[in-house]
Structure 1
Amino acid sequence: MNLHGIRAIYRFEMARTFRTLTQSIASPVLSTSLYFVVFGAAIGSRMGAIDGVSYGAFIIPGLIMLSLLNESISNASFGIYMPKWSGTIYELLSAPVSYIEVVVGYVGAAATKSLILGLLILATARVFVPYEIAHPVWMLCFLVLTAVTFSLFGFIIGLWADDFQKLQVIPLMIVTPLTFLGGAFYSINMLPPVWQKITLFNPVVYLISGFRWSFYGVSDVNVGISVAAIVGFLLACLVAVWWIFRTGWKLKA
């Protein structure tokens, strides 16, 4: 394992983040804070509790997950797309680093940024809404698993994209709508029975449900299924990355 290569890629990506703190960290935290102000403090105070949890506290896991998914994908996809766009990816491919080390460097940096962002949003939520974390270890596990998995997914998107517009297609048109429809602002048990069954085909439901369970001990689906869903998607992404580097798809064109 070439630790020097991994460290070089990781430090380069993290340095880019710290050069753009306003865009990378401050902007997502501020936009999520507006959700807490509107839905948590203003509207939440006029709504009843859901599963024994105040509405303002109930939406915290969903909002954190919304930011975590989008930022993980954006950070990883942009990080690997820029070398493709500038042509420096050929220098990376010819360097004495394996594809595993490349993936660890880029995905590790993207996941680290997302974890920092998620923890900052969690701390910011305390300003607007009181909440408790019933299972802090599990909460961190869900955070890390989700950040790594969707950073890996974003890495695949960055390899697939041919232009800057394609980097935003999946996050904006697929991931964000699935998150809003996946129980970020409500429990799926509030839906009619038919829609409850349809919603279970939304993979984001399992992420939000498991993450919310780590906070309040309540979930829409079994926690074991939530963990299995995340791990399954992680394995699928790993297989996809292995195939891309093995075949050179979108890398050698």
Structure 2
Amino acid sequence: MNLHAIKAIYLFEMARTWRTLMESIASPVISTSLYFIVFGSAIGSRIADVDGISYGAFIVPGLIMLSILTESISNAAFGIYMPKFSGTIYELLSAPVSAMETVIGYVGAAASKSIILGTIILVTARLFVDFSVDHPVWMVAFLVLTAVTFSLFGFIIGIWADSFQRLQLIPLMIVTPLTFLGGSFYSINMLPPFWQNVALFNPVVYLVSGFRWSFYGVADVNIAVSLGMTLVFMLACLTGIWWIFRTGYRLKA
């Protein structure tokens, strides 16, 4: 394995984060803090407990997951799209760097950024609401697994997109709505039976439910099912990336 190539790609992508610190880190943290202020402190104080947890604390895992999903996709998609846009992707494809090494470099950097962001938001949330983490190891595991999985998904979007508009299409039109409808701000058990069954077709439900379980020990879906669904989605993304490099889809055209 070419560790030098992986390191070069990883450090280049991470350096872009430090150059755009306001957009990469500060902006998502400020936006999420506003959610804590409005929903956690202002509105949350007037809402009854959910599953025995104060509403402000209940939405902490959901808001962190919302940021992780969107930032993982955005970072990975933009990271691989820019070499395509500038034409430097051909230099990478002709270099002695395998597809696996390329993916590890780009996806590793995108996931690292999301994990850093999620950690900052977790610390920031303590300023607004009191919460506990019952299963810290599982919390870290879900955080890392989600960041890597959706960075892989973002990598696919970055290769698929042929314009900056398409780069934002799936995150804005599909991922964000699914996240808001995936139990980030409520428990799906609060829905009528029919809509509870419909919600189970939303993959984000399993991510939020599993992540919330690591905090409070309560979940809308069995923890094993949440973990299994996340791994299935990761496998699907890996399969998609394997097919892209095998066929050269939108890489060699």
Alignment TM-score, normalising by the size of structure 1 = 1.00
Gaps of 5+ in 2: none
Q: In the alignment, which residue of structure 1 is the partner of 2:130?
A: 130
Q: Which runs of 4+ in 1 moved over 4 A?
A: none
CA distance in 2, matches of 1:49, 1:4: 51
CA distance in 2, matches of 1:8, 1:173: 33
Equivalent position amino acid for 1:143 in 2: L
The DSSP-based 3-state class of the residue aligned with 1:231 is helix
Gaps of 5+ in 1: none
Q: In the alignment, which residue of structure 1 is the partner of 2:51?
A: 51
Q: In the alignment, which residue of structure 1 is the partner of 2:142?
A: 142
CA distance in 1, matches of 2:157, 2:198: 27
CA distance in 2, matches of 1:130, 1:216: 12
- Aligned CA RMSD, in angstroms, stands at 0.4
CA distance in 2, matches of 1:228, 1:167: 28
Q: In the alignment, which residue of structure 2 is the partner of 1:119?
A: 119
Equivalent position amino acid for 2:204 in 1: V
> Counterparts in 2 of 1:233-248, with a 5 A limit?
233-248=233-248
CA distance in 2, matches of 1:232, 1:200: 15
Deviation at 1:181, TM superposition (A): 0.5
Q: In the alignment, which residue of structure 1 is the partner of 2:209?
A: 209
CA distance in 1, matches of 2:215, 2:90: 45
Deviation at 1:47, TM superposition (A): 1.1
Q: In the alignment, which residue of structure 2 is the partner of 1:161?
A: 161
**Corresponding residue pairs, total:** 253
Q: In the alignment, which residue of structure 1 is the partner of 2:227?
A: 227
CA distance in 1, matches of 2:231, 2:202: 16
Q: 1:94-114: CA deviations, max 9, x gaps? A: 111100000000000000000
Whether 2:19 is the aligned partner of 1:22: answer: no
CA distance in 2, matches of 1:238, 1:201: 21
Q: 1:106-150: CA deviations, max 9, x gaps? A: 000000000000000000000000000000000000000000000
The DSSP-based 3-state class of the residue aligned with 1:220 is coil
The DSSP-based 3-state class of the residue aligned with 2:83 is helix
How many percent identity over aligned positions? Answer: 75
Q: 1:154-201: CA deviations, max 9, x gaps? A: 000000000000111111110010011110000000001111111111
Whether 2:25 is the aligned partner of 1:32: answer: no
Q: In the alignment, which residue of structure 2 is the partner of 1:104?
A: 104
CA distance in 2, matches of 1:168, 1:69: 13
Deviation at 1:234, TM superposition (A): 0.4
Equivalent position amino acid for 1:77 in 2: A
CA distance in 2, matches of 1:218, 1:148: 24
Equivalent position amino acid for 1:123 in 2: V
Equivalent position amino acid for 1:6 in 2: I
Whether 2:184 is the aligned partner of 1:184: answer: yes
Q: 1:186-239: CA deviations, max 9, x gaps? A: 000000111111111111000000000000000001000000010000001101
CA distance in 1, matches of 2:165, 2:34: 26
CA distance in 1, matches of 2:47, 2:157: 39
Equivalent position amino acid for 2:209 in 1: S
Equivalent position amino acid for 2:190 in 1: M
Deviation at 1:46, TM superposition (A): 1.2
